[in-house]
Structure 1
Amino acid sequence: MSTRGKLLITGGRGMVGLNLQEHPRAAEWEILAPGRAELDLRDARAVEAWFAEVKPDAVIHAAGRVGGIQANIAHPVAFLEENLTIGRNVVMGAWKGGVRNFLNLASTCMYPAQAENPLKEEMILEGALEPTNEGYALAKIATMRLCQYIRREDPQAQYKTLIPCNLYGRHDKFDPAHSHLVPAVIHKVHMAKLRGEEEVEIWGDGTARREFLYAGDLADAALRAVAEIDSIPDLMNVGLGEDHSINDYYARVAEVAGWKGRFVHDLSKPVGMKRKLASSARQEAWEWRPPSTLAEGLAKTYSFYLERTST
């Protein structure tokens, strides 16, 4: 039985939204997670009308168009326009509808491409963005700024932003044309195992480093944050506090999947930023650490992938 009131989760059919709803803390709320057929977040009037009628007590904004390097390069207009529209509509709809507690989920792509690691929250807007996903990053920055401006004008409105590192986990997209690194690697390695292939290709030299958080762990942080929103800062990174090379992720997935082949590198392919490790200082001051290790997260994600491919 809910004890905290109504919680709107935008993007409730996506990976983050589904992990939020699966988490034990979700039972504290009456969860509202309308799909696009029920509420099109691209329609400002519909969003405002929905907030006026339903009057949720809090929001976790997780909706948006997402994808890996290939998708961002191929569709920059959609990644900017759609995410900008959704972010504006949800934030303004909530504020006009009287919502006081709003948790915006952003992305570490908002950090400058050449920023020194670890990435600290105050570095945002201090340099040029990574070109391969600039449109998505600009939309996320604009939504974050809108939340900050609302807090500036309306101190009672707790509109705050969590900045998760890269994510993977249950309910991820495993299609290589639309997926991020970890689910794409899982699919590639699993298919190589099924086909008896001895080689799997890695884009670039594999030395670029990334920080990946299990989506169930982000749900743990976000649900605590929205319930204790006065306790978190205006902006806060959420991650592991450590990173691994692309080559290491491939090797770890191969271990989980039981594939014994070798990796080859295509040096002609783009790899994005050389390193992207977020500072965990504010998160640690909030006294939160991810419950899952990388090995545990990969094992749970691969198990989910097998369930999906066997149905």
Structure 2
Amino acid sequence: MSKPILLLTGGSGMVGRNILEHPKTEDWDIVAPSSKVLDLTDHDAVKIFIQRLSPKIIIHAAGHVGGIQANIANPVAFLERNVAIGRNVIMAGYTAGVRRLLNLGSTCMYPRGAENPLREDMILTGELEPTNEGYALAKIMAARLCQYIRQEDPDFQYKTIIPCNLFGRHDKFDPDKSHLLPAIIHKVHQAKIHGEKEVEIWGDGTARREFMYAGDLSDALLKAAADIEKIPNLINCGLGRDHSINEFYAIVADIIGWSGDFTYNISKPIGMPRKLCSIKLQSAWGWSAPTSLRDAISKTYQYYLNEAHK
């Protein structure tokens, strides 16, 4: 008996590659075209591809992504490319009659001044964080498009999962492109091998972030793919707890075995002071992240040493 087809966009990215490594993929015939095979910014190509494939479900994990420096430097690309990608995939699925789609959102969709923990009903209730506004607007557009499709035809299960910050295997460790935790791993490792006594922290280290292992998100996404009718239109996916930037640096330094001092550069941007997801809906759905922060950082550091850092 043939397996149902799952179309995965962003299969070469961190989230996509973690999905492809997960044991639950055995339940699906997964098609994950690379950008060379399918340019997601090409409306006609995406429409034809999805019509011909006729998948049972789409997991839309593709996007033009980057850290705070990249977002500040390239706001046009982060808005325009992500709007195009989201619109093309979602509408191609809709016009082809694909009735199930999981869209990957981002916590940057939440207002910068929203109270923590961030609840799904807070989206579009306030001003966005300027340092990644373009990316956030594109993600909000895609999530709203999914909601409008369901509003017009409830038979279409088009839903958005909003993960907290992610890190893990297949992450980017280049300081010009990386997010916080892989950047910390790279900086502290470099300090260790070069015998440096100090590592600089942007800001004063008190900003708080929630980071989940990407392998855990893949577990949630594949559970949702098999259980999509039971999740709401918007649902956070996270830990429900956070740590300060100082704590992340301290844990990474302990795991790597570096015992120097930290200095602070308060002239650098830090983004929102806190981003903690409410996991009330996630808990009601019956899922929680299985990997502890320390184990997740250890696994990511081993990946950095064995595969990324060569």
Q: What TM-score do the two structures reach when normalised by structure 2?
A: 0.99
**Matches for 1:150-165 after TM superposition, within 5 Å:** 150-165=149-164
User: Matched residues in 1 for 2:118 and 2:22: separation?
Assistant: 28
The residue number in structure 2 matching 1:222 is 221
The residue number in structure 1 matching 2:259 is 260
Question: For the Cα contact (< 8 Å) 1:2–1:28, is it kept in 2?
Answer: no
CA RMSD of aligned residues (A): 0.9
Secondary structure (helix, strand or coil) at the match of 1:207 reads coil
- Residue 257 of structure 1 aligns with an amino acid whose one-letter code is I
Question: For the Cα contact (< 8 Å) 1:186–1:302, is it kept in 2?
Answer: yes
Per the alignment, do residues 281 and 191 of structure 1 end up closer, same or farther by CA in structure 2, a change over 3 Å counting?
same
**Matches for 1:1-311 after TM superposition, within 5 Å:** 3=3, 5-309=4-308, 311=310
Secondary structure (helix, strand or coil) at the match of 1:60 reads strand
User: Matched residues in 2 for 1:197 and 1:168: separation?
Assistant: 25
Question: For the Cα contact (< 8 Å) 1:6–1:29, is it kept in 2?
Answer: yes
Secondary structure (helix, strand or coil) at the match of 1:167 reads strand
- Report the Cα offset of residue 309 of structure 1: 4.6
Deviation per CA, 1:22-63: give whole Å up to 9, x if none. Answer: 011111100100001110000000000001111111011000
Flag as ranges the 4+ runs of structure 1 deviating above 4 A. Answer: none
- Residue 62 of structure 1 aligns with an amino acid whose one-letter code is A
Deviation per CA, 1:118-154: give whole Å up to 9, x if none. Answer: 0000000000000000000000000000000000111
- Report the Cα offset of residue 308 of structure 1: 2.1
User: Matched residues in 1 for 2:106 and 2:129: separation?
Assistant: 13
- Residue 79 of structure 2 aligns with an amino acid whose one-letter code is L
Question: For the Cα contact (< 8 Å) 1:61–1:105, is it kept in 2?
Answer: yes
User: Matched residues in 1 for 2:93 and 2:300: separation?
Assistant: 33
- Report the Cα offset of residue 255 of structure 1: 1.0
User: Matched residues in 2 for 1:41 and 1:309: separation?
Assistant: 26
Q: What TM-score do the two structures reach when normalised by structure 1?
A: 0.98
Deviation per CA, 1:93-118: give whole Å up to 9, x if none. Answer: 11111111100010000000000000
Deviation per CA, 1:129-183: give whole Å up to 9, x if none. Answer: 0000000000000000000000011111000000000000000000010010000
Deviation per CA, 1:261-307: give whole Å up to 9, x if none. Answer: 11100011111111110101000001111010000100110000001
User: Matched residues in 1 for 2:282 and 2:309: separation?
Assistant: 38
